[in-house]
Amino acid sequence: MSAERITLLAPAKVNLFLAVGDRRPDGYHDVVTILQALDERVADTVIIERADVLTVICEPSIGIPAEENLAFRALEGLGALVGREPAFSVTISKRVPAAGGLGGASADAAAALVGACRLWGLPADSPEVTALAASLGADVPFFIAGGTALYAGRGDMLVRRLDTPALDLVVVNPGVPVSTPAAYATFDRLLRPAVPTVDGMLRALASHDIGEISAQLFNNLAEAACDLAPEVAEALHFVSQSEGVLGAIVSGSGSSVFGVCEDAETAERVAHDAGMHGDWWASATMARPGGSAEIESGSVLR
């Protein structure tokens, strides 16, 4: 029996901690971040199967040519890496808001890599595949393994993996995109106060103290995101002021915000209330220990 088709979960992420530093000579910024994968309620689904040529379809469409999709570029890169034609058909069921600071495109690319490696009998966690993933985007390597992890460099250098905390979360997207390049450009123009070290959040995660984790949430891109889209500030205020939310912050460069909640019931209630705000998208979720994961595999006789 040989697998011909694999369905994978592509979970999104939030940044529990994000400290952006100065611009580097290569044009990127120094970054220290703790990434946290989310559960299946904030995730895309990626179906990859053998085909005659490489195709990528998003449902619903995200309005870009297939060749510009990060999953398409990931499979082209994998084919070049191993000297094989990446003849796969990929269908991505989109649930993660685009340009929302949740890493949806990177998660899809990671899932496509994991699925293709599975179909080709290759290790998805090899140094070569990891390097390919990093060339696609700083957080793509994270999505292959998921869980909770500390990254540095330009956000692509794994410092160490961390125990995943038991966190009930609510994620709210105000219905407007925020361009990552625009957020960084705005960040460069703003006055930047000193940032805390990541040590406080690392201690909070080690203690499994939800209140302390909430108190250590940090993102110095938040001001830039709110400057570009005032709706982000509105959503952040809503979440942070909701009863039972222990702490809230912008995820990545926005536009999504998230809050750490007292319990799952609080997360569901806040998500429901946020969903009443016109164009807002919201979901309760939890911290997830894994990353791109195979849901189902189809086989045929050989």
User: Average pLDDT, stretch 108-113?
Assistant: 98
CATH number (3.30.70.100, 1.20.120.140, 3.30.230.10, 3.40.50.11540) of 2-162 reads 3.30.230.10
**Could you tell me whether strands 55-59 and 43-50 are parallel, antiparallel, or unpaired per DSSP bridges?**
unpaired
The pLDDT value given to residue 302 = 31
Express each pLDDT in 213-228 by its tens digit.
999 999 999 999 999 9
Of residues 13, 2, 4, 78, the one with CA closest to residue 285: 13
**CA atoms of 37 and 267, how far apart (whole Å):** 16
The pLDDT value given to residue 299 = 52
Q: Per-domain residue ranges for the chain?
A: 2-162, 168-286
User: Average pLDDT, stretch 147-168?
Assistant: 96
The residues annotated with a catalytic role in the active site are 13, 139
Which stretch of DSSP H or E encloses residue 140?
A: helix 140-145
- In order of 170, 171, 179, 244, the CA distances from 262 in angstroms are 11, 14, 31, 5
Predicted TM-score (pTM) of the model is: 0.94
Under CATH, to which class is 168-286 assigned? alpha beta
The pLDDT value given to residue 146 = 96
Q: Quick one: what percent of the chain has pLDDT higher than 90?
A: 89
Residue that has been written with the tokens 């915000």 in this structure: 257
**Residue 2: is its pLDDT beyond 70?**
no
